[in-house]
Structure 1
Amino acid sequence: MMIFIDMNNNNNYKKVTEYADTAYNGKANPYYRENIAQRAQRKRHLAKWQSKLGVFPRVKITGICWDSYQALNFNKDITGTIFDIDSKLNIKPEQLRLALSSQSQNLKEVMLSIWKFSHAGAFFGIPVFMLIGLVLGGVQTFMEHIDILWFGLAGLLMSKYLYRLLDKFNLIPTGQYVIFNRQTGMIEIANDERTGYHHLPFEQFNAHHRTVHNPKTGAPYYGFTLLHYKEDLMYQNTDYPSVEGALAHWELIKNFMDTTTPLADIPQFERYRLYDPTTATYDRKHGRPANFWRRVDKKFMKKVAKASNNALYSFPVKQADTLHEALQHGYKVPDIVYFPWREAEVISDTFIEYKTGVFGRYFVEPFMF
């Protein structure tokens, strides 16, 4: 169902999705926190271990939703290339559905991850190997190993176009993506056979703290697992080098699902703002420019990312578990994080076209997926 809200920026009527009765409204039913199925009641190995770990709070923690995804991939958010996975999953912005990649136990999806990791490793490893040979052994050593460079580049091209061929015929698995539905309040997780989805309320999932140590370096990686209180169904992400990054990602998910608060003002959520009732009303009230992140330059984005990251990594994790407690220890979220458009000097009248730099255009894009 659609309702219409008049946006004061240009006096045009924009379609806004109406929330379902099941939409998550920030409620925190303690039942799902107090009745978590323990190890003996679960069948899957990962679910057994996650159920025993500490639980992240449901309330606001850092107050910042600008996680590493924003800083690393904002070009994709703006140019539209991030929509590729949405088209494969048949996701439209007006549906208020956010697809996030989760660690998978499915064999095909694990093999795909290994393939991507190996491809990226070869792309960076081969030039580094050749450069080391040049520095340590000179031009002669470099030329002795030149075949490695040519065969390596040829292999990267074959890998790239094989991936694209499989992708064209829809043979690249997508079941590792977990879909968060703000309109219905549900989390959509693919079943084991990848023939359909489980639809379970976001409220029934608990965010369990998780720390994984790299077996080679011993360095810790932080993250969390959104685990259903009873079923062995989960979304898991443990790619953060610090606990603050994991907290920001959890903040992002909670913000996207809680319909009582407007969406965070980040590039990743720009495409949803005009379709979300709470956010559209909020933007109209505060005079926020429509499609702001599509009309502001890259330099300003980096400014917001720097301010967000500086604030995030000053969060007193040893003294506070919630934003309320952190504020009592002097923690502060700068206004630019909540109202970035108020500090932007130039907002274009049209969408800004972003182009990859010379290095990326001629040396990275030709060899990467």
Structure 2
Amino acid sequence: MMIFIDMNNNNYIKVTEYADTAYNGKANPYYRENIAPPKQRKRHLAKGQSKLGVFPRVKITGICWDNHQEAGFNEDITGTIFDIDGKLNIKPEQLRLALSSQSQNAKEVMLFMWKCLHGGALVGIPVFMLIGLVLGGVQTFMEYIDILWFGLAGLLISKYLYRLLDKFNLIPTGQYVIFNRQTGMIEIANDERTGYHYLPFEQFNAHHRTVHNPKTGKAYYGFTLLHYKKDLMYQIATYLSVEGALAHWELIKNFMDTTTPLADIPQFEPYRLYDPTTAAYDRKHGRPADFWRRVDKKFMKKVSKIAYDVVYNFPVKKADTLHEALQHGYKVPDIVYFPWREAEAISDTFIEYKPNAFLRFVVDPLMF
């Protein structure tokens, strides 16, 4: 359903109306106190995760600046082969956010391994050739030149094979879990990838998760958003510190909680005009529409650095929530909450973002 609101400049913008099932941020202790124990679970991961503690539903770090903000923004606004919203037929006015989950589906695991091998070869081949050049000189470099040519040919074949499969919709997307702010539901693909389970966000708990690399012993942090009864989940463990996982949890909670406006981050820009709470908040504070599409990329890097510094200074050993952290001198600068107030120049038109020459002419031609 759509309603219309006045956006101060007398332009009328369509705004999605929340469903009665929308999540309003009021945590029900029932779903925390009645978590199904391991013996009632069928899946191995769910058995283990259900025994672990959960992240609280209150604000922890108070910051939603996730690593996707800068890294994925160019793909979001220009549209690439990784345009997941397009593949899943998601439109901004639907207030649905698709996030990649670590899949246990064989096809999706193979796809992930394919991407890793492709990326590894893209980095490894030039590094190998450079080492040969430095240690053995031009003669050694020329001895191994066939590795370079065959490697580049293999990367091009891999790239266009991926694009061909994508053209015929053969690239799986079931690993993406969709968070629906308008309905308060989480949409998780079924095992057969023929449809979706629709379950309330309130019924999921964010259980701690740590994954150790068996070779290096390095720990990766995250959480498994596990249903309190069913073995349905969203799982992530890609952060090098627990603070990164906390920020990602803040992002999901913020997106789903209709009582608070969406965080002012690039990832949420497409939704702002369609979300009632956020649209009203932006009108009240005079926030420019499409701010992140019209501000210089250097400013995004500036805010990104500040946000990362604040997140990774969160006193995890002294405080469990933002309220407690403030008592230890933890501060969140206004530029994180109101970035547009400190932007020096906001363009009248959308800014076209282009990577540097090396990425455009050397890396991009070999990437998917």
Give the deviation of 1:191 after TM superposition: 0.2
Q: Distance in 1 between matches of 2:99 and 2:230?
A: 20
Structure 2 residue aligned with 1:156: 155
Q: Distance in 2 between matches of 1:80 and 1:157?
A: 21
Structure 2 residue aligned with 1:18: 17
Change (3 A) 1:177 1:235: same
Q: Distance in 2 between matches of 1:15 and 1:44?
A: 43
Query: For each residue in 1:80-118, what CA deviation from the matched residue of structure 2 results, as whole angstroms up to 9, or x when unmatched?
Result: 448721111110000000000000110000000000000
User: How many positions carry a matched residue from both structures?
Assistant: 368
Pairing 1:62–2:57 present: no
Contact 1:78/1:267 (8 A) holds in 2? no
Query: For each residue in 1:277-316, what CA deviation from the matched residue of structure 2 results, as whole angstroms up to 9, or x when unmatched?
Result: 0000000000000000000000000010011011111100
Change (3 A) 1:351 1:83: farther
Percent identical residues: 86
* Structure 1: tracts of 5 or more residues without a match: none
Q: Which amino acid aligns with 1:5?
A: I
Q: Distance in 2 between matches of 1:81 and 1:338?
A: 29
Contact 2:180/2:186 (8 A) holds in 1? yes
Query: For each residue in 1:208-228, what CA deviation from the matched residue of structure 2 results, as whole angstroms up to 9, or x when unmatched?
Result: 011111111111110000000
Pairing 1:3–2:3 present: yes
Give the deviation of 1:77 after TM superposition: 3.1
Of stretches 158-167 and 80-89 in structure 1, the one that deviates more from structure 2 is 80-89
Give the deviation of 1:355 after TM superposition: 1.4
Pairing 1:188–2:187 present: yes
Contact 2:185/2:201 (8 A) holds in 1? yes
Alignment of 1:183-332 (within 5 A): 183-332=182-331
Q: Which amino acid aligns with 1:131?
A: L
For the residue of structure 1 that corresponds to 2:365, the secondary structure is: coil
Contact 1:186/1:199 (8 A) holds in 2? yes
Q: Distance in 2 between matches of 1:132 and 1:281?
A: 57
Change (3 A) 1:83 1:161: closer
Pairing 1:85–2:84 present: yes
Change (3 A) 1:83 1:346: farther
Structure 1 residue aligned with 2:352: 353
Q: Distance in 2 between matches of 1:361 and 1:165?
A: 21
For the residue of structure 2 that corresponds to 1:4, the secondary structure is: strand
Q: Distance in 1 between matches of 2:309 and 2:120?
A: 30
Q: Distance in 1 between matches of 2:37 and 2:365?
A: 49
Change (3 A) 1:82 1:183: farther
Q: Distance in 1 between matches of 2:19 and 2:136?
A: 67
Q: Distance in 1 between matches of 2:79 and 2:144?
A: 40
Q: CA RMSD in A?
A: 0.9
* Structure 2: tracts of 5 or more residues without a match: none
Q: Report the TM-score, using the length of structure 2 for normalisation.
A: 0.99
Q: Distance in 1 between matches of 2:243 and 2:292?
A: 24
**Deviant stretches of 4+, over 3 Å:** 80-83
Contact 2:3/2:16 (8 A) holds in 1? yes
For the residue of structure 2 that corresponds to 1:365, the secondary structure is: helix
